[in-house]
Amino acid sequence: MDILQSDFPLKNETNLIINAAIEIHNHLGCGFLEIVYKDAFCIELESRGYFYEREKLYQLYYKDILLPHSFYADFIIFDSVILEIKAKSAISSADIAQTLNYLRCSGCKVGLILNFGKQSLEIKRVVL
């Protein structure tokens, strides 16, 4: 679910992340694989002194039983925002559903999906 930006929780944190993404998009443009943008994000986040974890592992449980498969969020930034990086023609409903699932499993309430696959950076804020 996307809500009005003025009502968005963690607005300051997400704006800082978006500003870093704009910097990356300005330098690299579109057309690279996701991994390139993830690598650039590490450099940009470190240069800004933002705390982050890349490819953070989350285990999944079903009825108190650990499932054999887990997932890795692209980034957790400021211990509170899940960041998913995409490099494709558009953000899809499946990307939004994936981010919502990540939010449920992680305990985070805010997610960002940033798509570098277009001429303009595509931004989707997701709230649980």
3-state DSSP of 95-109: HHHHHHHHHHHHCCC
Quick one: pLDDT at residue 2?
A: 44
Quick one: pLDDT at residue 1?
A: 40
Q: How far apart are CA 9 and CA 87, in angstroms?
A: 26
Q: How far apart are CA 89 and CA 17, in angstroms?
A: 21
CA atoms within 13 A on the CB side of 99: 29
For the chain, residues with pLDDT lower than 70 are 1-7
Quick one: pLDDT at residue 51?
A: 97
Quick one: pLDDT at residue 128?
A: 86
